[in-house]
Amino acid sequence: TIQADLCDNLDIQFHDSPSSKNVPLRVRDTNSGPTTTLFWGQDSDDRIYHAGVSRLRVRTFRDTVLELETTADYVEDGAKARGNASAEECQFVTSILNGKFATERVLTDSETKGLKQGSRPMTERELNVLERKKNQIEQALDERLKDIVKVKAPNGNEVETLKDSSADDEPIEEVFASRTQRDIDGIVSSIDEQKAKGNEAFTSGEYAQAVLFYTLALDRAADLPDKPDVDEKLEGRKSDPDLKPLYPRHVILSNRSACFLKLGHHEKALKDGSDASTLEPTYVKGVFRKGLALHAMGNYREAIDVLAAAQKIEPKNKQIKQALTFAEVRMTQEIRKRME
């Protein structure tokens, strides 16, 4: 599996490359049953994931001869901003289907309706296949259960039976805005999973990939029933200090802000840092990263105010103190230039 993000004119070539599984494939002949290796593309897990990639070219060669070729471009393939994800963060997958290359959009967790195929991201085509299989299984079970619950009299006629009301008794669950606690727990678990992947990618220095995972986590958080309250707070229309969100979105926003700072996307870093500090004003990392983004954009006066606020939260934090000193130095230098 290959992951490519935010690049242009990428050319990927497979020259007699084995499949990622490298499973021996038996070939019958008159000899003692020789084996050959599965080539790349012959297994369903041989995939290229890409987001924000322009003019991608993929080719496979067998014995130096070009076998298959395709191109992809996130704009031409219809990438659109969805939820918290920009068009550049919309993920696609290119693979070989029925002997031909195909590029498909990867669905978000909310679009898959809770259905999964292991840990692998799912496309609309795969979701449809999975839903068909699920429906077939449910129909088969219904047919079998019909025969099991039928009661017949000695003459062969079916007898109407009264269903035991106790069979319908189910555990009463807390309901929150049309979602049960079980639903909420499932969403939170999914958010934690994407956030953990983002943390792992960030630690490995794969900042663009980390942005993708954090964005998926925020998209999943949008399915929580407290979203209207969170949106109102972000828009400045609600300042209830007792508002307790169902998930600490400010942590994910702060983490994504750090990724954008590493990637040089300072305006996006500022937006996430600002949103994080709005949702939780005492979360020092959100305030700090907002200040760093302002500093990187050359807004030293604003950066000093924000970094000073961060220092009040954690007076002994050396990183904040150093960043504040740098901002003050830059501000002084800028004032001197204006006076020359």
Confidence (pTM)? 0.56
Q: Per-residue pLDDT for 285 more than 90?
A: yes
pLDDT score of 121 = 80
pLDDT score of 28 = 45
- Tell me 87's DSSP state: G
Q: Report, as an integer, the average pLDDT of 163-177.
A: 42
SS in 3 state form for 152-203?
Answer: ECCCCCECCCCCCHHHHCCCCCCEECCEEHHHHHHHHHHHHHHHHHHHHHHH
Average pLDDT over the chain reads 81
Q: Per-residue pLDDT for 116 more than 70?
A: no
Q: Report, as an integer, the average pLDDT of 31-52.
A: 74
Q: Report, as an integer, the average pLDDT of 311-316.
A: 93
Q: Per-residue pLDDT for 44 more than 90?
A: no
pLDDT score of 163 = 44
pLDDT score of 89 = 87
User: Residue 225, SS3?
Assistant: coil
Q: Percentage of residues in the chain with pLDDT exceeding 90?
A: 40
Q: Per-residue pLDDT for 330 more than 80?
A: yes
Q: Per-residue pLDDT for 277 more than 60?
A: yes
CB 311 within 8 A of CB 291: no
Res. 242 pLDDT band, cuts 50 70 90: low
Res. 231 pLDDT band, cuts 50 70 90: confident
pLDDT score of 140 = 63
Residue, of 39 and 295, whose pLDDT is higher: 295
Lowest mean pLDDT among 122-126, 266-270, 282-286: 122-126
Which alpha helices (DSSP H) does the chain contain, by range? 124-149, 181-203, 207-221, 227-234, 249-263, 266-279, 284-296, 300-313, 318-339
Q: Report, as an integer, the average pLDDT of 130-143.
A: 69
Q: Report, as an integer, the average pLDDT of 282-289.
A: 94
Token readout for 183 is: 């639903």
Lowest mean pLDDT among 20-24, 61-65, 249-253, 276-280: 20-24
pLDDT score of 16 = 81
Res. 34 pLDDT band, cuts 50 70 90: very low
Distance from C-alpha of 308 to C-alpha of 298, rounded to nearest angstrom: 16
Closest CA to 300 of 325, 277, 282: 325
Q: Report, as an integer, the average pLDDT of 297-301.
A: 92
What is the phi/psi pair of residue 82, to 5°?
-135, 120
Q: Per-residue pLDDT for 160 more than 80?
A: no
Q: Report, as an integer, the average pLDDT of 24-48.
A: 63
Strands 48-51 and 91-97: antiparallel
